[in-house]
Amino acid sequence: MRNVKGSKTKLISEVISELERRAPSGTAENWDNVGLLVGDPGWKTSGAVVTVDLTEESLEEAKRRGFRLIINHHPCIFPKSKGLSRVVAGGGSKSSLVFEAIRSGIAVAAYHTNFDRCALEVIEKISSGLKITPRGRLFDHARGTLCKLVVFVPESHADAVRAAVTGAGAGHIGDYDSCSFETEGTGHFRGSPRSSPFLGKPGQAESVPEVRIETVLPRGLESSVVRAMREAHPYEEIAYDIYPVDQAPAAIGLARGVGYGFWGDFDRPKPFSEVVKGVKKLFEASGFLLTDPPPKTVRRLAFAAGKGASFVESAAASGCDLLITGEAGYHDALSVSKYRQARAVPMAVMEVGHRESERFFSVVVGDWIKEAGLKAVPLETRTQRIYRF
């Protein structure tokens, strides 16, 4: 396959680097399979087809436009723990689509749970569409999602290093950002004859004023935060530590790489019928499943894309009247009665459809590709429909 003549092109590896900057693979769940899954990072492309799933339609669209990259939300090779069993032609299976992509010279990448954790643009689109103020994120396992960075910096560069690491995603605590703590001290070192110390001379013991800066960051953002730290730090050998933080992140606040979806408030309680109209329009849903009893009004709601069963407890604990998700499963949806607490009416769970709840993936990633200077074709292929009879 060849790219369209005269179009601007980039290496697949360059496109992946841009996506990794926005949604690092390290923020994905351990069981997930994300990043470049199929193809050669050395291929060049003038654009990408962006779609939730790898389908025949997405392959045909990529061929028609001369693109050598398809970006999916759902991994085409999954789960990673079982390895790749077969990639063969024919039969319409997922493996045959992978085979066709390889044969056609089309790379396939996936951004799944890392996208869900990092793409705050989705929260912006949904909250603005529903006219709600987002206040916090949802968690299925909050403990162990944070770590702490400690770095020692000469006084002259403390401000620059602090700004670099917080700009890369560190320092979010609840509704606050740029959070850090520092103490002054003295650093001691002696460089070898081959060293080029920023302060002092090679082979000579030195004692210099330094600042200890410490801050928190989401697990998975370590690489990007450390990279930013290195670029701002003047030393050729940097003393720093990263260690786990056991406490859970704050339930309030929106931080990239921490939690899923969001919960938020309307400025006033809204009739449930009015909320339904907004949901059906925003998600282009023709119908939905709802637990009984439906709420009369909704002041606080939560949203989790895809399968939201593991966020029912988090949404209920946040005091939500309604959880909107793609699917929750019968028993998990009904489990809201366990989290009734002091509420007269338990939280309702609305299931709008898995694909419908993830429709903003293609829009947001398409925008990322365009901002990188390439063409993007967000493709919405319906893999399921709600039929009325």
Q: Which residues pair with 35 in a beta bridge?
A: 110
Check residue 89 and give its pLDDT: 67
The pTM assigned to this predicted structure is: 0.86
Check residue 36 and give its pLDDT: 95
Check residue 389 and give its pLDDT: 54
Q: How far apart are CA 169 and CA 24, in angstroms?
A: 11
CA proximity to 124, closest of 319, 26, 256, 273: 256
Check residue 22 and give its pLDDT: 94
Classify residue 155 as exposed, middle or buried by CB count within 10 Å of its CB (0-12, 13-18, 19+): exposed
Q: Kindly report, residue by residue over 225-261, the tens digit of the pLDDT.
A: 999 999 999 999 999 999 999 888 887 889 889 899 9
- For the CA atoms of 263, 264, 270, 275, what is the dihedral angle to 10 degrees? -50
Residue 356 exposure: Cα atoms within 13 Å on the Cβ side: 23
Check residue 342 and give its pLDDT: 47
| Domains delineated in the chain | 10-115+360-378 (3.40.1390.30), 119-140+259-354 (3.40.1390.30), 146-245 (3.30.70.120)
Q: Kindly report, residue by residue over 296-350, the tens digit of the pLDDT.
A: 999 999 999 999 999 998 999 899 999 999 998 877 777 765 555 445 557 999 9
Q: Kindly report, residue by residue over 336-353, the tens digit of the pLDDT.
A: 655 554 455 579 999 999
State the CB neighbour count (10 A cutoff) for residue 388.
Answer: 6
Cβ proximity of 159 and 115 under 8 Å: no
The list of the chain residues with pLDDT below 50 reads 341-342
Check residue 94 and give its pLDDT: 73
Check residue 193 and give its pLDDT: 93
- For the CA atoms of 382, 386, 388, 389, what is the dihedral angle to 10 degrees? 90
**Residue listed under structure tokens 């492309």:** 45
Residues 6+ apart with CB under 8 A from 6: none
- Give the length of the chain: 389
Check residue 85 and give its pLDDT: 54
Q: How far apart are CA 386 and CA 388, in angstroms?
A: 7
Q: Which residues pair with 173 in a beta bridge?
A: 176
Cβ proximity of 69 and 111 under 8 Å: no
